[in-house]
Structure 1
Amino acid sequence: MAHIYQMWVSPALRGKGVAKSLLYEISTWAVNKGCECIKLAVTTSNEAAVGFYTSSGYLPTGPLEELGVGSALMVQPMVKRLGNTQ
């Protein structure tokens, strides 16, 4: 299993395929390491990121969680299953 902990793209570079390229490279690396899936948690208030990960094949894996103890921000855990693992 691989885990994406944090990923951002500069506002000046958004919409130019940078995040898609990053996810592709991460997925390629994870498959080459024999990982079966990639997990992440996305802040629910970041609708663009939620939509991006969903359209990239990530699925919600459980209930929303607090970003931190007492935080008003919530995150959605997500996972993407990878093919071609051994």
Structure 2
Amino acid sequence: MDKERLPSPFLPQSTLYVRASYGGTGLAQHLMCQAQRWAATSGAACIQLYVTTSNEHARAFYRKCGWQPEQEIWRLEMQGQGPMEPLGDLSFNRKCVF
């Protein structure tokens, strides 16, 4: 979600963790409802959370709660690449070569 589209006030929810032993008890659903209730009474127009793409269990739970994906975060692992050569020519019409 880009900054121009952020509702005001905007409330990020960073994490929600429930121990596996509490799975299926409704605790996660209860906590999510409480967070939404708190956000609504605080005047928030929107809540945003982050979840890794590989966490299908959490993604399914959030979908069940009515959440929808808004953006993707892409990452490039640089381990083992070694040091890069100095930039030199800064013309940007070439491909990235390591």
CA–CA distance in structure 1, aligned partners of residues 14 and 77 of structure 2: 20
TM-score by length of 2: 0.64
Residue 51, structure 1, aligned to residue 87, structure 2: no
Are 1:23 and 2:53 matched, yes or no?
no
1:70 maps to 2:68? no
Aligned residue number for residue 91 of structure 2: none
Where structure 1 has 5 or more consecutive residues not aligned to the other structure, the ranges are 72-86
The Cα of 1:69 is off from its aligned counterpart by 6.8
Moved over 6 A (4+): none
Q: Secondary structure of the residue that 1:27 maps to in structure 2?
A: helix
1:37-76 CA distance string (max 9 Å, x none):
11011111111100000111111112x214x7739xxxxx
Gaps of 5+ in 2: 1-9, 79-98
For 2:66, what is the secondary structure of its paired residue?
Answer: coil
Task: Number of aligned residue pairs: give it.
Answer: 69
Superposition TM-score, scaled by structure 1 size: 0.72
Residue 48 of structure 2 is aligned to residue 39 of structure 1: yes
- Flag the structure with higher strand content: 1
Amino acid at match of 1:70: E
Give, in whole Å, the separation in 1 of the partners of 2:12 and 2:76: 21
